[in-house]
Amino acid sequence: MLFALLHTRASSELATFHYQQSLPRLPLPPLRNTLDKYLQSLEPYFILNERNGRGRRSEARARRRKLADEFEQGLGVTCQQRLQELVKNAPYNWLDDAFWLRKAYLESRSSLLVQSNWWLALQDDETVPASVRLDPQPELFNEWQLRRASWLVKRMLSFKDRLDQERIPPDLVRTVPLCMSHYKRMFNMTRIPAVGCDILHKASTSNPSAHQIVVFANGNMFLVDAYESNGTFSGTDLIYRRLKACARLARSRPNVAVAILTNRDYLMQLSPRNRLNLWNIDSSLFCLSLESTRSRLQNETIADSVTNPRWDDHLHNTAYGRDGQDRWLDKTITISLESNTRFGMMGEHSPCDALVPSILGDYCVEEPINLSEFSVDNLAIPEEGDGWKSITWDIDSYITDECRRVAADAKALVDDSDDSQLWFEDYGVNWIKQVAKLSPDAYIQMALQMAWMKDQGRPTAVYETASTRLFLHGRTEVIRSLSQESLAFVQSMNDEISSPAERLRLLMAAIKAHNTYTRDASTGQGIDRHLMALRLVMAPGESSELFQDELFAQSQEWKLSTSGLSSGDRFIGTGFGSPYPDGYGINYLAGGEILKFGIESKHSCPTTSTLAFKHALVASLREMRTTCEKGYIELERGKEMTEGAIQARL
């Protein structure tokens, strides 16, 4: 995501929403522009089909141009006019108001676990003794786990208070302001399941549960007051003592993991208490899960240069917890604290994209635990009802059986997730910019396409996320990373004929094309959201061959789904699930000296392997560095020879 990589902060003197009223509206691209860019994006498919004996490139191009022209001169005119009316009447953003939130998220019936929610694993706090941080099986609910949990609750709410007071500086891309509306959607927000289309619920501050957090511990759930009756933060030490009280009760009381249920209608019907519980959870600030440290890989001997079992365990536990049983997956943000004090965040995707919560996560770990905020006196642990209470459910045999069934389904999803983290430490953004003199994000995208080619032996459509936060309530657009130019570069890296100079020229051309597409996508001139909207405003019985063409579907079959986040200096890693069973979901952090990749695929797919892709990616990044180094030498040598020949003629 380009804007994430260029993210800066405005002056701290400016209010958070200082620029909000002056932000431009997301434009509706001209229909012809979208169609021309769409046709251009099909060029790599024309080339590949011709090479595979599936028709001449010129004929394929002419056929698709005819379909585009017919749409533009016919039904497309009507559809574009319908969208223009939406633009006029949209309160904020024609795309998000009318389509995107609903179609991309709230109407989707895919599992939030693995398939939709994002996750972030953050760095350790070195205030915690190494004997705890490195212990493979520390005691659950130990002092340091509860201290760090309390400190992170304090940091979360410090950020919220600053946000409420508009003391979070506005986000900028260089000097251009970005929409800050997503920041309002991190706290007290929940996606509520509903038939056909889910609902986003934002709690009113007048609701008492809007000042509480939900705590998961050993299958139990608790409500913990985070603010006092006068509206002030309860204090780090009091939060610590309340968490200690919850932990003391949870130790001796394993419980049915009701959170795993996906359909809660029957649960609500069982009792008024269940309805109140659900209301309190939906209205709460966020969720905190206190968990045992689980090591899938740490005890295994993995002789592999691209795998760090501790990091992979951290990411996996952050994303999935106890197979989803200690997560309220509909909640915008859940933070997790393992017994060795590893810290992670995961969240539901519909309210906001992962970039904004990642800024919150970075704020949380920016300052280490301040031990002076914990009392040295042995203060009393509050009794239940004094700032905390257990969430008790009325359940019957049906609910118990349903929890077991859904838990088994969730476990199967998690077991199938082939997720891992790659830290590439040979070089980072600094070398790409200063030595290779290339755009870091586009360079990484070319490396990912090279890795896919090594892994799969053929190109695929590539999705990269572009931010449209330049506009009011802007979210994302697609960067179609596969292009005619990127295909030429990747294929040159796989032949034995191209010289380093030729490969470098092709890399430069691919990066130039990628940057042009990125600029268009980020400034409201992308094509995929527009094409989606044109299809959605068709009336019953209306259709167009343009959208029924096989290449229309193939060009949106994004088996390589990617997104860049930030430099991630304080992150262990990030991730999201692959949207295709035979693809990869890749989130990356482009740091100055290190590139971090969170990669997810499916064990059940015989043609993908996250480990194999990591090896392919490392090889690609190293080969690209060699290409740049040797290519520049050859180009310089060629330049000197040309200049020498000119001088000789003179």
Structure tokens at 52: 């595979």
The whole-angstrom separation of Cα 42 and Cα 517 is 14
**Residue the block writes with tokens 């109407």:** 107
Extended beta strands in 373-416, E state: 388-390
Tokens 């049983």 correspond to: 325
Residue 264 confidence (pLDDT) = 85
Q: Which long-range contacts link 493-499 to residues 24+ away (Cβ below 8 Å)?
A: 493/450, 493/620, 493/623, 493/624, 493/627, 494/453, 499/631, 499/634
Please give the angle made by the CA atoms of 418, 424 and 429, to the nearest 5 degrees: 125
Domain 31-101+425-635's class?
Answer: alpha beta
CATH 3.30.559.10 domain range(s) in the chain: 31-101+425-635
What pLDDT is recorded for position 256? Answer: 77
- Asked whether the beta carbons of 311 and 573 are under 8 A apart, the reply is yes
Position 563 confidence tier, pLDDT thresholds 50, 70, 90: very high
Spatial neighbors of 69 by CB under 8 A, at least 6 apart, are none
250, 386, 402: which is closest to 326 by C-alpha?
250
* pLDDT confidence of residue 5: 45
Cα–Cα distance between 260 and 270 in angstroms, integer? 17
How far is C-alpha 234 from the chain's CA centre? Answer: 32
For the cut 60, the answer to whether the pLDDT of residue 298 exceeds it is no
Distances, alpha carbon 480 to alpha carbons 91, 194, 258, 306, 650, in Å: 29, 33, 41, 28, 48
- Centre a 10 Å sphere on the Cβ of residue 477 and count the other Cβ atoms it contains: 25
Q: Supply the CATH classification number for the domain 111-417.
A: 3.30.559.70
Give the SS3 label for residue 561. strand
Q: Is the pLDDT of residue 15 over 90?
A: yes
What pLDDT digit, counting tens, does each position of 208-262 carry?
Answer: 899 999 999 998 999 999 999 999 999 999 999 999 999 999 998 877 789 988 7
3-state helix, strand, coil in the chain (%, to 5): 45, 15, 40
382 DSSP assignment: P
Residue 301 has pLDDT above 50, yes or no: no
Rounded to two decimals, the pTM is 0.94
Sign of CA dihedral 282, 283, 284, 285: positive
The partner residues of 422 in beta bridges, in order of sequence, read 597
Question: Do 445 and 624 contact (CB within 8 A), yes or no?
Answer: no
Give 636's pLDDT tier (boundaries 50, 70, 90).
confident
Q: How far apart are CA 183 and CA 160, in angstroms?
A: 9
Average pLDDT over residues 18-38: 98
What is the pLDDT, as a whole number, of residue 3? 47
CB crowding 422-447: b at 16 or more within 10 Å, else e? bebeebbbebbeeebebbbbbbbbbb
Q: DSSP letter string over 100-123?
A: IIIIIIIT--S-STTTT-EEEEE-
What residues contact 377, with CB distance under 8 A and at least 6 apart? none
Q: What is the pLDDT of residue 223?
A: 98
When pLDDT is cut at 50, 70 and 90, the band that residue 9 belongs to is low
Bridge partners for 421 per DSSP: 598
User: What confidence tens digit (pLDDT) does each residue in 46-69 have?
Assistant: 999 999 999 999 999 999 999 999
What integer is the mean pLDDT of 309-318? 94
Phi, psi of 192 (to 5 degrees): -100, 120
- Phi (first) and psi of residue 513, to 5 degrees: -65, -40
Three-class HEC string of 466-486? EECCCCCCCCEEEEECCCHHH
Ranges for all domains in the chain classified under CATH 3.30.559.70 = 111-417
* Range list of β-strands (E), 508-576: 560-564, 571-575
- Burial of 371 (C-beta count, 10 Å sphere; 0-12/13-18/19+): exposed
pLDDT of residue 648: 52
Contact criterion met (CB below 8 Å) for 527 and 36: no
Selection from 124, 174, 190 nearest residue 351 by Cα:
190
The predicted model gives 27-36 an average pLDDT of: 98
Asked if residues 154 and 243 have their Cβ atoms less than 8 Å apart, the reply is no
Residue 349 among the catalytic residues = yes
Instruction: Identify the bridge partners of residue 418 per DSSP, sorted by sequence position.
Output: 601
If pLDDT is split at 50, 70 and 90, which confidence band does 302 have? low
What would the mean pLDDT of 166-174 be, rounded to a whole number? 94
Of 182, 211, 316, 349, the active-site residue reads: 349
Helices (H), 566-609: none
**Close Cβ partners of 51 (under 8 Å, ≥ 6 residues apart):** none
Residue 530 has pLDDT above 60, yes or no: yes
